[in-house]
Structure 1
Amino acid sequence: MKRWPVQDAKARFSELLQASLTRGPQLVTMRGEEAAVLVPVEQWRRLNARARPGLKALLLEHEAPAELTLPARGKLRRRAPQEAR
């Protein structure tokens, strides 16, 4: 993966985009630190599809992602507890 300082990425964006399409992801750095990666849209879609949350993450969320409807209770009632002898 080629590293592009942000100044070069801005000045040569067409070249950066073409490199991303033909040679794969391209890394953009800002002040020497990794800042962003330019990837082709199809690769982004594949990565994004794989990043869906798992069951554990869904169960640990504070808010439910959908409304949960509970079935109506039956008409049966609990028996009264028996007295100890």
Structure 2
Amino acid sequence: MKAWPVQDAKARFSEFLETCLAEGPQMVTRRGAEAAVLVPAAEWRRLQAAARPSLKALLLADSARTEALVPPSGGARRRKTEALD
């Protein structure tokens, strides 16, 4: 992955974008420290999909089937009420 100083990335953005599309993610540095990465849109969508499980995966996971998620019954105290005349 090529590193681009922020001033070069700004000044040569078209080249920066073309390099990203042709070669993959490109690092942007600010004062020599890594600051950001330009990633092709298709790869970004793939990374986003891989980062979070689907609703189906969550519902089928063993961790979703736990009694700890349901509060115990009968633990609530009721307030005393007065009879109406």
Instruction: State the TM bucket, normalised to the shorter chain.
Output: 0.5 to 0.7
- Runs ≥4 residues deviating over 6 A: none
User: What is residue 36 of structure 1 aligned with on the other side?
Assistant: 36
Letter in 2 for 1:35: A
Shift of 1:38: 0.5
Show CA shifts across 1:16-44 (max 9, x none).
00000001110000111100000100000
- How many residues are treated as equivalent by the alignment? 58
* 2:39 is the counterpart of 1:14: no
What is the TM-score normalised by the length of structure 2?
0.62
Which structure features the higher share of helix residues? 2
Aligned-pair RMSD on alpha carbons?
Answer: 2.0
Report the secondary structure of 1:29's partner residue. strand
Query: What aligned pairs does 1:1-85 form with structure 2 within 5 A after superposition?
Result: 1-52=1-52
Post-superposition CA distance 1:29-82 (Å, at most 9, x none)? 0111100000100000000111115859x97xxxxxxxxxxxxxxxxxxxxxxx
Distance 1:14 1:24 in 2: 15
Gaps of 5+ in 2: 65-85
Q: Sequence identity of aligned pairs in percent?
A: 67
